Amino acid sequence: MDIKITLTKEPKVIPPDSELGFGKYFSDHMFVMDYEAGKGWMNARIVPFGNITLHPASTVLHYGSEIFEGLKAYRRADGGVQLFRPMENIRRMNRSAERMCLPEIDENEALDILEQFVKLEERWVPKSFGSSLYLRPYMFGNDESLGVHTVNHATFMIIASPSGSYYKEGINPVKIMIESEDVRTVRGGTGYAKCGGNYAASNRAGERANKKGYSQVLWLDGVERKYIEEVGAMNVMFKVNGEIITPELTGSILPGITRKSCIEVLKKLGYKVSERLFSIDELKEALQNGTLEEAWGCGTAAVVSPIGKLMYEDVEYEVNGGKIGEVTQKLYDILTGIQWGTREDEFGWIHKLS
Ligand code: PLP
Ligand code: COI
């Protein structure tokens, strides 16, 4: 892929790793390319990071035609930089694009773009274990007209943000509120797509949870409000009586790449993993009779995050004495080990850039 590069004249000072937080700082450049129906993708360019202009009628501003991805570039101890299963993100982005009537991007071209962009921004990949350069590819509809129709013009961009831990708790257990009023998505809707609207619709419950002292919301299914779905930015897993249970991908849940990786690791370790419907009643019973041994969330930003407390209908339950469990810790160690290159990648998930 031929990318026109315009370098910044004012390279920024990179903040120390200890100050990074999540998604607050941005690297020097961004990738941009344009799409027009009948012509395809064009004008691939890397330009200095900065504001963009949009027509006031631009589709994304009125009808929410937007999708995004999230993946990380990791720095190994030997100084090299690597990605974790980037093709999975690219394929999911194309599935999201198909759902939202946005144009798809050739997989190999998308990988080439990602590689060229990260190589140019390589100095922004932080060095300390646990921090990374969070990459945010995204696409939006950009027609300059108010008609509601499939998108004829779109823009694809990638920005990069050096980041530390997603939760201020780090690997310490988080408190999660099970939401019984709002729903995130429904089957047949956009749950499996990573589109901005899913997150906008989640904010009200998220805010209610925050006010009560909980980090995020655990969603129930949108039809019966009975089955566990996922957390705001993570998939969930439970260990009940030795069995690891994670909600099956019914169409309203995001097919997480960390989820998929956890399942593959757990199966290799010999655990029984069930992808199935898991009801709130079953969870409540396991919480009450003590068979819920561990609960955790998994996602790119959060990696593997133990759930220490769960609140449902104003009753708070403690999981595993509020401490990280053995399987959660094992998954965290294995995944972070592979991602940051301190552990052999027996699965072939690492994509080295340098
Ligand atoms: N579920 C939601 C709603 C998310 O936003 C994310 C984060 O991307 C995940 C699950 C986890 O997906 P992944 O592991 O691919 O990051
Ligand atoms: C990610 O884990 O990459 C996410 O997308 C989380 C994000 C919504 C903050």
Contact 62, 336 (CB under 8 A): no
Residue with CA nearest ligand 1 atom 10? 234
Phi-psi sector, 220: left (phi>0), alpha (psi -120 to 50), beta: beta
Mean pLDDT, the chain, whole residue set? 96
pLDDT at 97: 98
Ligand 1 nearest-atom number relative to CA 261: 14
- Which residue bears the tokens 């609140």? 311
pLDDT at 49: 98
Contact 83, 111 (CB under 8 A): no
Give domain 4-163's CATH architecture.
2-Layer Sandwich (3.30)
Calpha distance 30→44 (Å, rounded): 11
152: nearest Cα among 165, 140, 160: 140
176: nearest Cα among 317, 329, 304, 292: 317
Point out the ligand nearest to the CA of residue 299: 1
Calpha distance 42→299 (Å, rounded): 32
Calpha distance 35→33 (Å, rounded): 7
- Which residue bears the tokens 């995944």? 335
What spacing in Å lies between the alpha carbon of 5 and ligand 1's midpoint? 31
Query: For strand 153-163 and strand 132-141, is the pairing parallel, antiparallel, or unpaired?
Result: antiparallel
Q: pLDDT, tens digit, for every residue of 316-342? A: 999 999 999 999 999 999 999 999 999
Calpha distance 186→188 (Å, rounded): 6
C-beta 254 within 6 A of ligand 1: yes
Residue 204 is given by DSSP the state H
* Residue 288, pLDDT above cutoff 90: yes
Calpha distance 237→273 (Å, rounded): 10
The distance between the two most distant Cα atoms of the chain, rounded to a whole number of Å, is 63
Residue ranges per domain, the chain? 4-163, 174-339
Query: For strand 29-36 and strand 40-48, is the pairing parallel, antiparallel, or unpaired?
Result: antiparallel
What spacing in Å lies between the alpha carbon of 241 and ligand 2's midpoint? 30
Burial class of 283 by CB neighbour count within 10 A (0 to 12, 13 to 18, 19+): buried
> Is 174-339 in the same CATH topology as 4-163?
no
275: which strand partners?
A: 246
Q: pLDDT, tens digit, for every residue of 162-199? A: 999 776 767 889 999 999 999 999 999 999 999 999 99
Question: Which among 92, 166, 194, 231 is the best mutation to test ligand 2's pocket, defined by most ligand atoms within 8 Å of the CB?
Answer: 166
pLDDT at 169: 67
Helix axes 86-99, 107-120, angle to 10 degrees: 120
41: nearest Cα among 97, 83, 88: 97
Q: Topology of domain 174-339, per CATH?
A: D-amino Acid Aminotransferase; Chain A, domain 2 (3.20.10)
- With H, G, I as helix, E, B as strand and everything else as coil, classify residue 214: coil
C-beta 297 within 6 A of ligand 1: no
Residue with CA nearest ligand 2 atom 8? 233
Calpha distance 46→48 (Å, rounded): 7
Q: pLDDT, tens digit, for every residue of 108-133? A: 999 999 999 999 999 999 999 999 99
Torsion, Cα of 94, 95, 99, 104 (10° steps): 20
C-beta 258 within 6 A of ligand 1: yes
Pocket of ligand 2 (CB under 6 A): 70, 233, 299-301
Q: pLDDT, tens digit, for every residue of 19-38? A: 999 999 999 999 999 999 99
Mean pLDDT, to the nearest integer, of 264-290? 97
What spacing in Å lies between the alpha carbon of 90 and ligand 1's midpoint? 14
pLDDT at 171: 84
pTM recorded for the entire structure? 0.97
